[in-house]
Amino acid sequence: MCGRYVQVSSPALLAERFDVDEVVTEAHEPDYNVAPRALVYGVVEREAGSRVLESLRWGLVPSWADDLKIGDRMINARAETLAEKPAYKRAFARRRCILPADGFYEWKALPKQGGAKAPKQPMFIHRRDGEPLAFAGLWETWRDPGEHDAPWIVSCVIVTTRANDLLAPIHDRMPVVLPEDAWSTWLDPGQHDFARLDPLLVPAPSEWFEAFPVSTRVNKADNNGPELVARVEPATLFQ
């Protein structure tokens, strides 16, 4: 599961890091609390082979959907069932993307105190080397079938897999984070062989990551700013 993440790197930095040929999006404000429905940067390869950086709406809306709201339930897609689920099968075959992230949040259940419900501690997870994460994603285009001349909406979903050893004590799932040598295969719209794609959908090595507790301010989607990724001490976790 990945319900919130961080995307603060500039389009110029992402274009260089992901070898993008063209940037077709305006710059977004740095977002330390990306929530579903937000516009996010995505790297997509077009049929002609050019790699572009564009904006996508987080929460995949299949082309056959009647309502945009279906995307609220499709922010994550399990790697194990991509080739089977009607909502993802066509996108998995032809419309794959990379969703850059500067880190993500996960919530760790803490021991119960008395009869109270077990509290959850938000944790920030990022690469130790400071490089952007390359989330495996899928994308789709949709427009409202009930509205004449409705605009096209390009939406996306983050692919998840089982957690690695570092993150398993926090949550049993994590985003698929692709290594650089897998980017070309994953992005290639001409690559339809699921047997070549499935091996990419595995947990990234634990040694890539660092995880530490952060303020519960991140629980509220309206809160934003670099203070959300500041490490906190146990005594201040729930202040």
Q: What is the pLDDT of residues 159-214, one digit of tens each?
A: 999 999 999 999 999 999 999 999 999 999 999 999 999 999 999 999 999 999 99
* pLDDT score recorded for residue 235: 47
* pLDDT score recorded for residue 149: 84
Q: What is the pLDDT of residues 91-122, one digit of tens each?
A: 999 999 999 999 999 999 887 766 667 789 99
User: To the nearest whole percent, how much of the chain has pLDDT over 70?
Assistant: 95
The pTM assigned to this predicted structure is 0.94
* pLDDT score recorded for residue 44: 98
Q: How far apart are CA 206 and CA 168, in angstroms?
A: 10
42 has which bridge partners? Answer: 54
> Which residue from 156, 158, 167, 160 is spatially nearest to 202, judged by alpha carbons?
160
* pLDDT score recorded for residue 238: 47
* pLDDT score recorded for residue 239: 43
CA end-to-end span of the chain, whole Å?
25
> Which residue from 160, 161, 159, 162 is spatially nearest to 138, judged by alpha carbons?
159
Query: Domain spans of the chain?
Result: 5-234
* pLDDT score recorded for residue 224: 98
User: Could you tell me the fold of the domain covering 5-234?
Assistant: hypothetical protein yedk fold (3.90.1680)
Q: How far is CA 15 from CA 25, 31, 52, 98, 194, in A?
A: 11, 18, 8, 12, 27
Q: How far apart are CA 163 and CA 182, in angstroms?
A: 19
Q: How far apart are CA 176 and CA 159, in angstroms?
A: 6
Concatenating the DSSP letter of every residue in 77-113 gives EEGGGTTT-TTTHHHHHH-EEEEEESEEEEEEEPPP-
* pLDDT score recorded for residue 116: 65
Residue 7 CB contacts under 8 Å (≥ 6 apart), including other chains: 28, 30, 31, 34, 40, 41, 100, 101, 102
- Looking only at the bridges linking them, the beta strands covering 22-23 and 51-58 are parallel
Q: Name the phi and psi angles at 61, rounded to 5.
A: -115, 105
Tell me the catalytic residues: 2, 106
